[in-house]
Structure 1
Amino acid sequence: MEPVTIITGGSRGIGAATARRLAAAGHHVAIGYRRDHDAAKAVLADIHAAGRRGVAVPADTTDPEQVAALFDAAADLGPLTSLVNNAGVTSPIGPFTELAFDDLRRVVDVNLIGYVLCAQQAARRITRGGAIVNVSSAAATLGSPGEYIHYAAVKAATDTLTIGLAKELAPRGIRVNAVAPGIIRTDIHAVSGVPDRPDRAAGRIPLGRAGEPDEVAGAIAFLLGPDASYTTGAVLRIAGGL
């Protein structure tokens, strides 16, 4: 059976790199995205250029109906085999005492509620032998003091979600793992108000540089593939030594 994978937040950054990597590896891919239609079309064109089927669906992952619609659209590609839970947001970097409630609410809704809603749909639909990969963050264990402690806390919840769901779905032959990227060169840093953060942070990363989206995509592809057939409940850190 040819693999069919849903990637949330699939139009840019890690999600887009993963979509391209999986299409090259033989996956049919459904990407969910928020609003960047042009970026989604470009990723979809690359999926088709790789000879695979694909669909791009605008979807707010905090809305249960839109999440269900994304999974329904993916069903047109064939039986679902995997989910990459990737759609996420940060908020402006700053002291914990200055965190705005609206920013807190958005980070929790997208990074936790959205992940739970998508994982729930995947757990209902994925066939035996399938897999889920949640995109967590190295922040979950670093805490991100002075930057976004609330984001780090929610990513720690992602790790817990991964471990619990791995144990619950294992009897059905469905594996659940996570990747925990460190500082990766994506647009997410602009949202935090520090677009050059990857360069600023390079000096405190043991490997001396920020990571690239495709380096995370490679790890996701591994966890979805046959070489990880005995791996579940793992959180694979991709953070340059942080």
Structure 2
Amino acid sequence: MRDLIPPSSSYDDTRTRVAQYFDATATRVWERLTSDAPVSRIRQTVREGRDAMRALMLAQLPGDLRGARVLDAGCGTGAASAELAARGADVTAIDISPKLVEIARARLPQTLAGRVDFRAGDMLAANLGRFDHVIAMDSLIYYTRPDLEAALDALSARAGSVVFTVAPRTPLLMAMWHAGRMLPRADRSPSMIPHDWRRMNVAGLDRVGRVSRGFYISECLRVAS
């Protein structure tokens, strides 16, 4: 493992930009996308892809998580947190968007309320403590490779395993990325940064698999201490 590098100014800038986007623009979209409400065909593929990816990621953790402490880093509207709690884990569910955390808290079944600690803030905050497992579904996809590598170093230093996703460098995603950079700055949502996982300098990194459903394409990776 490399010497731990504190979050950079670019990491902080990206985190702030993503938080502002979800709280000011995308909360209602994500609330609907992550529910059973009807959506467009394009968003339906995203919903299906996210459901498949969440299942793939959770399959990397033990079925029985009683006694385990798990960090849901970028919990969004809380679907993974609820399943982790149902397996018996003590879950810290954190997201940079307070509005998404509010939705996640409201959706959690009352029978699981004592098992999930919801927080709004930075997944790398030192005061979160140590964990047996970390999952980070589509919450690291906006960062440059140096910031991504530093974040993974920080997470893996305090967890037995980290399961996370990146946007793979496929021709489609690269075309979408370049097209997004041509939009006026005011019209841009936070842009995913595609990565080739084989070029990432992260100790213990392994590929789990890829999920591709229409407009949802994501690579699942795992770091084991």
- Greater relative CO, 1 or 2 (CA 8 Å, sep 6+): 2
Q: Which has the higher helix share?
A: 1
Q: Which has the higher strand share?
A: 2
